[in-house]
């Protein structure tokens, strides 16, 4: 038994050692042809987290939910000056830096401060905007809170991965600091009194307050360096030629004061108009798109997960010689490793980690990660199903001269699948719900769409209720269909 555990640990250690150097493969080690590469590609991919008005946020433009804001205007000007097209990729703020380092995006324009810690891993342009930090509170608490020091014994929220989150952690006393991925979730938590305040940049605080009459903004009085209150564009470390070129655009934006004269007023118009129709029925297209992507991810993951599950189940039952024993150990190590690591980490590893070698779209990465995860669980269902078939079936088939392979394929597997149909059905329904995990890499399934609707309408709870009902309709319908086929199989 000790030998087996040792071999299992050796296989898993080898896998981790193989993966470890991935994080050190940065584009900075390549010669700097960054400007030439972008102009040759013809497209500049901008990473942003569109929950931070007026920098970047969702608004309905010509009936379509679109990313708008001053950073988008800056991205468009940068792309125009480079003579390339702009493509915007939305994701959570704390995924942006890893997306840049793994080549998922070419630049980050997301109200990002060029702090010394970030400069170690990315190259920044000159700053294009100088802000400062406020704390958004419920207006009814205006008499209670004056600045960051008023929250002793209370809870202050800030977006994870941001400067304000670090400032709140280091510059408040006796205050619980709650980090959340989405700015919209923070505002929702504030409105439902789960938080006493939310720290963010002044322009963003003003935007949320102008769209939510029950909110107010107070000065944070955070002690911040100028790099922590300004915004700049981030490129991969060592992209000197590209940064130098884009600096010309940034310098022109500052010289002509385009942010204050043009970009902020334009963003403000969207802030006023985008709450024209905030009824959930107005966003039926967004929810329908979410359902479409949820079903695509689920059906593909169930199909590929089932194939992976059969292969793993048979591998885990291999015996007889060194090769078959090794196959069994590798399959066992895979199943234990996948079942022992969170699906969120697996999704991020496939999208960002494998992204160092092959540039997989977010949807493909999500389907691969969920299929690999589901395969490990389906393998156990199938193995249990095979073991549940009476051994007499194998003996009878073998006595008729059927080979092991034919016995498994024509006698054992069909009976095993009939026995595990309810487990496979549960796996399908679980995947409908688990598919929401890919929203962290920007796949536009139901949760992602609800975040868009929330930041578009500034309504927190309504979109959540809508997707709860939609998920229930999907899972309930799926379970009815699966039960129908299960009854048919029982009578077959």
Cβ burial of 163 (10 Å; 0-12, 13-18, 19+) is: buried
Antiparallel, parallel or unpaired: β 122-130 and 176-180? unpaired
Please choose, from the candidates 76, 85, 128, 130, the residue with its C-alpha nearest in 3D space to the C-alpha of residue 258. Answer: 128
- Start-to-end C-alpha separation, the chain: 43
Residue 52 vs 222, nearer CB to ligand ARG: 52
Number of residues this chain uses to bind ligand ARG (CB under 6 A)? 16
Residues of span 184-203 touching ligand ARG by CB under 6 A: 201
Least Å distance, CB 125 to ligand ARG, is: 14
Binding mask 138-177 for ligand ARG (x = CB under 6 A): ---------------------x--xxx-------------
DSSP class of residue 69 equals S
Residues of span 66-105 touching ligand ARG by CB under 6 A: 93
Q: Counting contacts by CB under 6 A, is residue 455 touching ligand ARG? A: no
Please choose, from the candidates 136, 184, 63, the residue with its C-alpha nearest in 3D space to the C-alpha of residue 463. Answer: 184
- DSSP per-residue codes, 280-310: GGGGHHHHHHHHHHHHHHHHHHHHHHHHHHH
Residue 94 vs 149, nearer CB to ligand ARG: 94
Q: Counting contacts by CB under 6 A, is residue 134 touching ligand ARG? A: no
Residues of span 218-237 touching ligand ARG by CB under 6 A: none
The residue within the footprint of ligand ARG, chosen from 113, 274, 436, 444 (CB under 6 A), is 113
Degrees (nearest 5) of the Cα angle 484, 376, 449? 70
Antiparallel, parallel or unpaired: β 43-48 and 107-108? parallel
d(CA 320, CA 486): 36
What is the sign, positive or negative, of the torsion defined by CA atoms of 123, 125, 127, 129?
negative
Residues of span 371-410 touching ligand ARG by CB under 6 A: none
The residue within the footprint of ligand ARG, chosen from 90, 101, 123, 183 (CB under 6 A), is 183
For ligand ARG, which stretch binds (CB under 6 A), given 39-47, 110-118, 167-175, 449-457?
Answer: 110-118
H or E stretch covering 45: strand 43-48
DSSP class of residue 440 equals G
d(CA 153, CA 132): 25
Least Å distance, CB 114 to ligand ARG, is: 8
Q: Counting contacts by CB under 6 A, is residue 51 touching ligand ARG? A: yes
SS3 105: coil
Residue 130 vs 393, nearer CB to ligand ARG: 130
Residue 127 vs 435, nearer CB to ligand ARG: 127
Q: Counting contacts by CB under 6 A, is residue 136 touching ligand ARG? A: no
SS3 278: coil
Residue 109 vs 431, nearer CB to ligand ARG: 109
Least Å distance, CB 417 to ligand ARG, is: 47
Residue 184 vs 371, nearer CB to ligand ARG: 184
Q: Token digits for 328?
A: 């069994």
Residues of span 284-303 touching ligand ARG by CB under 6 A: none
Least Å distance, CB 386 to ligand ARG, is: 50
Interacting residue ranges for ligand ARG, rule: CB under 6 A: 49, 51-52, 55-56, 93, 110-113, 159, 162-164, 183, 201
């Amino acid at each position: 038994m000790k030998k087996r555990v040792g071999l299992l640990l050796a296989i898993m250690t080898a896998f981790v050692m193989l993966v470890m150097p991935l994080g050190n493969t940065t584009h900075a080690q390549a010669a700097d042809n960054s400007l030439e590469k972008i102009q040759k590609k013809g497209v500049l991919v901008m990473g942003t987290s569109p929950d931070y008005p007026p920098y970047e946020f969702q608004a309905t433009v010509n009936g379509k939910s679109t990313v708008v804001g001053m950073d988008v205007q800056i991205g468009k000007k940068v792309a125009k000056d480079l003579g390339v097209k702009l493509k915007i990729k939305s994701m959570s703020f704390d995924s942006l830096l890893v997306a840049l380092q793994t080549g998922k995006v070419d630049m980050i324009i997301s109200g990002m401060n060029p702090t010394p810690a970030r400069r170690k891993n990315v190259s920044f342009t000159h700053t294009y905007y100088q802000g400062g930090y406020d704390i958004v509170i419920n207006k009814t608490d205006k008499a209670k809170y004056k600045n960051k020091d008023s929250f002793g014994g209370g809870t202050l929220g800030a977006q994870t991965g941001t400067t304000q989150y670090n400032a709140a952690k280091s510059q408040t006393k006796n205050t619980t600091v709650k980090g959340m991925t989405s700015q919209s979730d923070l505002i929702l938590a504030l409105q439902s009194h789960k938080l006493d305040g939310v720290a963010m940049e002044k322009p963003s605080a003003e935007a949320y307050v102008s769209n939510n009459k029950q909110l107010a903004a107070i000065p944070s009085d955070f002690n911040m360096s100028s790099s922590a209150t300004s915004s700049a564009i981030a490129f991969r470390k060592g992209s000197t030629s590209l940064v130098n070129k884009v600096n010309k655009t940034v310098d022109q934006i500052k010289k002509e004061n385009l942010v204050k004269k043009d970009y902020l007023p334009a963003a403000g118009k969207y802030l006023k108009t985008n709450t024209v129709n905030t009824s959930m029925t107005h966003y039926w297209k967004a929810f329908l798109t979410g359902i479409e992507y949820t079903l695509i991810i689920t059906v593909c993951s169930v199909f590929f997960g089932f194939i992976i599950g059969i292969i793993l189940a048979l591998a885990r039952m291999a015996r007889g010689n060194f090769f078959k024993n090794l196959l069994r150990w590798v399959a066992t190590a895979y199943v234990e490793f996948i079942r022992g690591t969170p699906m969120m980490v697996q999704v991020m590893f496939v999208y960002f980690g494998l992204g160092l070698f092959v540039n997989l779209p977010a949807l493909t990465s999500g389907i691969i990660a969920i299929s690999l995860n589901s395969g490990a669980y389906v393998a156990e269902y199938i193995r249990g199903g095979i073991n549940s078939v009476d051994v007499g079936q194998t003996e009878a088939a073998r006595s008729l001269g059927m080979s092991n392979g034919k016995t498994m394929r024509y006698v054992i597997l069909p009976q095993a699948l009939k026995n595990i149909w309810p487990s496979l059905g549960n796996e399908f329904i679980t995947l409908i719900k688990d598919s929401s995990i890919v929203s962290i890499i920007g796949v536009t399934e139901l949760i992602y769409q609800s975040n868009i609707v929330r930041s578009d309408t500034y309504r927190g709870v309504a979109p959540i209720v809508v997707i709860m009902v939609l998920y229930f309709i999907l899972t309930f319908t799926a379970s009815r269909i699966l039960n129908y086929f299960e009854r048919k199989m029982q009578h077959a």
